[in-house]
Structure 1
Amino acid sequence: MASKIKRNDPCPCGSGKKYKKCHCGIEEVASTEVVMEQELDQLYQQLISLGVGSYQSHVRPSALPDFPKEYSELYTFNYIVKQIMDEPVEGDTTIIDKFYEKKVDTLTRPQTLEAFKMWPGAAPVLLEVKQVDNFVVQGQDLLTDEAYTVKIPDDMSEVVVSDVLLGYLFNWGTHYALIPTPVPFDKRIIENFMDKSFNDDYEANKEENETKSEYFQRHYLRMIETLIQHLETDELSSDNINWSKDSHQQVAELFETYADHNRLGQKVMEATLGFWSYYCKEYNPTIRKPEIFAAALEYHVTTAPELGVKANVTQKEIATKHGVSPNSLSKRKNEIGEAFQTFLQEQQTMV
């Protein structure tokens, strides 16, 4: 049985105040960890508000590279954080320096203070996901090989093992947070970026004794531009997508094998694989016979008016090619068709 908290005891919330002057009389005392996270969340919001409010001309890019909308947003968010963290506004003083000086003496909770003291030294990472459980990621920085525990937002359920997360690593007490909200990259994209761009760039231009992490931070925005270029030129295929189930990949491989590449064209082939990846992540279908889904996928994209394929092909012909019945194909096509419309709508909002 827990002992009763006395009025002159330290408050269990971790504020450093006596219980009688803090949570005495309040039925539920929030845990130190919860309160600390709330305080750090509030500090982060204040930091961003300071940057985009008082230093708007400093943190907003005057011109953006010619990227599609989703990549422009990725670049802009990281540009803002880079300017706040690393680019001086007065002498050698950065926005994070000014914010730190303003806030450090106002924090009374030791745990919050210790985490906050680490913020001015935050650096960007390329964090490979080694394990993910309940929005807590165990990952390894590809630049330093250091391991970190990172908490990700609740709306990032699509993150899977081997994804790579990009962002500045902020100490959040019991874990770290990536700022801005990270976008999960396929590891293959990052490996191409490292092998074909970053490593050579680093070896050719690094300063004496400069580490990969330091070089990446110094050239952060240029590195992001290069990474986006790799994203834009990457050719999608079944073997360079992360699949959570072997059966999902088997469907993609069967589609690639049997689909008429000349009829569909490369863009439709890639769009179909992108849709199938989306469908698997969103709906996680249980697949006993991959041939049925592959046939349904091929028939749907071959006849979908939105894709403009204009192929004179029957359901029976495609079913026969895949060795399945037309009825089985039809059932799965209807399921896929509904999801396909949602997929197209989401893609259109990103353009």
Structure 2
Amino acid sequence: MAEIGRDGERLEDHEVRWRDRQALLESKGYMLRSRLHPEWVPSWTTTPRNPTACEDFEPLPLRPDLVDATRIVDNQLVYVKRVATGGEELKIAQFLNREVVRNDSHNHSVPVLEVFQDDEDPAISYLVMPFLRLMDDPPFSHVNDVLEFVDQTLEGLVFMHSQGVAHRDCARKNLMMDSSAIYPKGYHPVQLDYTPDFTARAPMIPRLGVWPPVKYYFVDYGISVRAPTGEQALVIGDLGIDQEVPELSRTVLYDPFKVDVFIIGNVFKKELCEKYTNLDFLKPLAETMTAKRPEGRPDAEDVLKQWYHLRAGISFMGRGGVLRPTNAQGSPPIIFDIIAFLRLGILLSRRMMAWTLHWLKLTCRD
């Protein structure tokens, strides 16, 4: 049952559970928002501000096992996830973050910053990760944004499969990005369009204007499996966000690696090809990846090879083009092309300047 906090403010059940672990998290170096502190008094009761303008008015989103926090030592925003101690989700996340592969540029598994057990229930552990945003939040704006996303997603899938791991749930909500470079002044963990102090809109830089490019990650290994090297993995089960995968079954064994190919292909199809009119180059690959019969789909490595071939045929101007939404009204294609040309020059200048500064720092360090 939900609990009524001081001055009548309501904390939901999932908030109460995290509030009761606030002291533990603080002792480990992570601070929850003031709303989740045991001694919390709603700020709007001591100031004349409207409650909706107060940072602590925003409730924790209903994701019972997930909470945002700030790492005390460097003020970095993180996610803390409640997981089963010794469970497969934790084992796979740690396996993909072991020292020998952690810094591999093709490894796009969400970084594991720390793991620690609950101080009251040893069956519960806490997995600390960087705070990430959905792959398309903010939305893609240029063709090059899509190219970067497809590059990293397929490279990450090939890497994951090379480690014997099949994700099984790599749909849009489990493909996220580190947006720290896009939001240089940060943002609020609940109201993502606002600054951390909730006083203004968070300033944003387009993806094309930052260097190095934003990085995309696979998250949530809740139903993932790991096959020993050289062994084939066959599974059963119909769980997962994408229920369009044809072979999902509670009784008939299927190949989870081919499921991953379908799910990523469906992301390309539904979230990219169907939303923008100038991504026709991606459609053949998406169709191949979402073949109804698993044996008709290429494996992840072949998908990546096909993608590199397709990508090579995209011109420089094409890469800098502004994405054209399928529901756009009024502006003819030539307008998008003019905007693309002007913005491309500005954004590439910013990226070149950022790269030069980065190079100078490295040179001075040496």
TM-score relative to the length of structure 1:
0.32
Which structure is richer in relative contact order (CA contacts within 8 A, separation 6 or more)? 2
The structure that is helix-richer by fraction is: 1
